[in-house]
Structure 1
Amino acid sequence: MDAARVKAWGLGFGVFSSVCFGTSGAFGKALIEAGMSPLQASWTRVAGATLVLVPVMLAARRRAAAAALRGRWRLLLLYGVMGVAGCQSFYFVAASRLPVGVAILLEFTGPVLVVGWTRFVLRAPLPRSAAVGVGIALVGLACVVEVWSGLRLDMIGVLAGLGAAACQAAFFLAADRAVGRIDPLVMTAIGFAVATVVLAACAPPWTVPWHELGMEVALGGHTAPGWLLLTLLVLISTVVAYVTSVAAVHRLSAPVAGAVGYVEAVAAAVFAWATLGEHLSPVQLAGGVIVLGGAFVAQRSVAAREQVIGELPVMETAGLTRSSG
């Protein structure tokens, strides 16, 4: 297969992956409104994905998994707690109290937090464009939450969305540490297994309203069986999304794969509008564009610094095992 065709397939996988990731907010919110708590919805999602991913990992990467658990267990624990359990749970809390489009935009400020961590905690010099990207993203964020109106949005939802962003930032940093050290499938499967255990302590399986899965659940102006929505959340929004994300990164350059990932935020807003009837105001839509533009500039600035010093970019290699909504 020639290079052009490989890249075309990679782009297709990347867009498809982002669209699949973008469906999670609507499916999860429908289950939450049917009676599950955000943490219960998050647990059922990661537990279902774990049941699929761990057997695949054991069949294909058993030795790599054993080596990773021996030498990198702390990093895997951090990834599972923050990158999977924390990110997805905060996102579902935010999506349950805010429009899905706003929740995903709040989460996508994660790259801005990575810039802050790199500059003020690691004290590493960054290009001026990084500060410009942060400033642009913050202006967009102000539009999304409409700060001039005294934050009309639910404050708990906004804080949860920013919590998801912080967890996404931790995921990016953990993924950077794992590049070349932990196989992507191993990191994903073990991360989900860790998240399943952690969330089980917060949302015990026996408290989940399993009977809701046998009932019709409202999805906008339509209804669907609860078990079908959960199946779609696990298989499409999680397993297929992660697999196609890996396939995309293997066929594209890191910068292109990182850029394609921003389709997820657009897909989440569009899918929530189509299925749940959620609308964003014109100002929020404009703010969303500004947020994504600023986050992208900040991401590329950090990536450029990493490439200069001879390392793989922290935020673009993270596409190997994404943790977002």
Structure 2
Amino acid sequence: MSAAPKAEPAATAGLRQHLALAALVLGALAIAFSPIFVRLSEIGPTATGFYRAILAVPPLWLWWRFMPALPRVSAAGSGRRLPPLALILVPGLLFAGDLFFWHLSIQYTTVANATLLSNFAPVIVTLGAWLVLREKITAAFLVAMLVAICGALMLVGASFQLGGTNVFGDMMAFATATFYGAYMIAVAKLRGRHGTQELMLWSSLVTGLALLPMVWVMGEGLLPATAGGWLTLFGLAWISHALGQGLIAYALGHLPASFSSLVVLIQPVAAAGFGWLWLGEGLQPLQLAGGAVVLVGILLARRAQMNGGG
């Protein structure tokens, strides 16, 4: 009879959680660049989403093929092999839906509405984490989530308006939150058996292939007009997708999905700051206060997690 695997020392487990938290924050900062890249893109939003995923495949393949595998939650699933159907299809299709509906929402509603409603993903993730991942969700964590979402509402300020002519776009933005929340749950579930590299490689390939026919349906061109246009797409693919989503996928193997989804709310805070720095978009006092409230909500969620919650 084989010996039972040794429990990981507490110090090692603590270090791994700190590294995962650092990866999560850095991943959120990396994806915060994506609105800038999308704004600067010379092609349509769906085509931009296609390149975001497909141009990330070469560096992700190199990472998977030549770099040592990052730790999994369990030892199962090791080795270089073709992944199962669920690994190939589910996260990639969910992320394709996230990108498609996100870009569609921007066309049919205000940026403020699209930003806020798409950031309701923590609600979806928390529900999925409780139902699918069997995470314990405490009252303290729910309060922290409410605080963070209120901060996100303050961040978009008076620009947020429900109803009127934006109903379709608002529905698309909430669909974005649903798809991204489901994507995070799928990644968290699969990270128990698979490394970050193979998960990101195959899901990105599926995302790109799923978005390609939608480019044709939306009537968008595929070729940027200048070299700068190509650089923008490579920046989006390598920084926001391969690096940003890769770090988040790594973190989801070591941190609760519910808590991780709240930390990712750093992304709209950082995006507002980057827009101010590079695009000259002004920041109002209410937006600054909203960013601070989001961070307070994340800190409260971290305390709840350390005390055994979400």
> Is TM more than 0.5 here?
yes
Q: Which residue of 1 aligns with 2:4?
A: none
Instruction: Tell me which amino acid in the other structure corresponds to 1:166.
Output: T
Looking at structure 2, the residues matched to 299 and 114 of structure 1 have their Cα atoms a distance apart, in angstroms, of: 16
Indicate yes or no: 2:186 matched with 1:174: yes
Equivalent pair of 2:47/2:222 in contact (CA under 8 Å)? no
C-alpha deviations, 1:171-201, integer Å up to 9, x for none? Answer: 2211221132111111111000111111112
What's the offset of the Cα at 1:136?
Answer: 3.5
Indicate yes or no: 2:281 matched with 1:278: yes
Indicate yes or no: 2:151 matched with 1:164: no
Q: Which residue of 2 aligns with 1:88?
A: 99
Q: Which residue of 1 aligns with 2:5?
A: none
Looking at structure 1, the residues matched to 183 and 158 of structure 2 have their Cα atoms a distance apart, in angstroms, of: 28
C-alpha deviations, 1:125-182, integer Å up to 9, x for none? Answer: 7422244345445544554475985558944443333222111210221122113211
Q: Which residue of 2 aligns with 1:43?
A: 50
Q: Which residue of 1 aligns with 2:195?
A: 183
Looking at structure 1, the residues matched to 39 and 89 of structure 2 have their Cα atoms a distance apart, in angstroms, of: 27
Helix, strand or coil for the counterpart of 1:115?
helix
Q: Which residue of 1 aligns with 2:34?
A: 24
Instruction: Tell me which amino acid in the other structure corresponds to 2:272.
Output: A
Indicate yes or no: 2:60 matched with 1:53: yes
C-alpha change, 1:168 and 1:295, in structure 2 (3 Å) is: farther
C-alpha change, 1:300 and 1:203, in structure 2 (3 Å) is: farther
Instruction: Tell me which amino acid in the other structure corresponds to 1:91.
Output: W
Looking at structure 2, the residues matched to 172 and 210 of structure 1 have their Cα atoms a distance apart, in angstroms, of: 29
* TM-score using structure 2 length: 0.70
Equivalent pair of 1:43/1:200 in contact (CA under 8 Å)? yes
- Gapped runs of 5+ residues in structure 1? 216-224, 314-325
Equivalent pair of 1:146/1:152 in contact (CA under 8 Å)? no
The correspondence for 1:115, drawn from 123, 126, 141, is 126
What's the offset of the Cα at 1:40?
Answer: 1.1
What's the offset of the Cα at 1:17?
Answer: 3.6
What's the offset of the Cα at 1:28?
Answer: 0.9
C-alpha deviations, 1:269-324, integer Å up to 9, x for none? Answer: 111222223345444554455456557756876x679x68xxxx7xxxxxxxxxxx
C-alpha deviations, 1:44-100, integer Å up to 9, x for none? Answer: 11111123323543455797452532xxx2244111111x2122333333456544x
Looking at structure 2, the residues matched to 50 and 153 of structure 1 have their Cα atoms a distance apart, in angstroms, of: 38
Looking at structure 1, the residues matched to 242 and 44 of structure 2 have their Cα atoms a distance apart, in angstroms, of: 22
Equivalent pair of 2:33/2:240 in contact (CA under 8 Å)? yes
Helix, strand or coil for the counterpart of 2:83?
helix
C-alpha change, 1:299 and 1:177, in structure 2 (3 Å) is: farther
What is the aligned-residue identity percentage? Answer: 23
The structure that is helix-richer by fraction is 1
Instruction: Tell me which amino acid in the other structure corresponds to 1:271.
Output: F
Equivalent pair of 1:90/1:160 in contact (CA under 8 Å)? yes
Looking at structure 1, the residues matched to 16 and 130 of structure 2 have their Cα atoms a distance apart, in angstroms, of: 36
C-alpha change, 1:153 and 1:142, in structure 2 (3 Å) is: farther
Indicate yes or no: 2:69 matched with 1:66: no
Looking at structure 1, the residues matched to 246 and 161 of structure 2 have their Cα atoms a distance apart, in angstroms, of: 42
What's the offset of the Cα at 1:214?
Answer: 1.6
How many equivalent pairs are there? 286
Q: Which residue of 2 aligns with 1:320?
A: none
Q: Which residue of 2 aligns with 1:220?
A: none
Q: Counterparts of 1:207-246 in structure 2 under 5 Å?
A: 208-214=220-226, 225-242=228-245
C-alpha change, 1:105 and 1:299, in structure 2 (3 Å) is: farther
Looking at structure 2, the residues matched to 102 and 206 of structure 1 have their Cα atoms a distance apart, in angstroms, of: 22
The correspondence for 1:78, drawn from 64, 83, 90, is 90
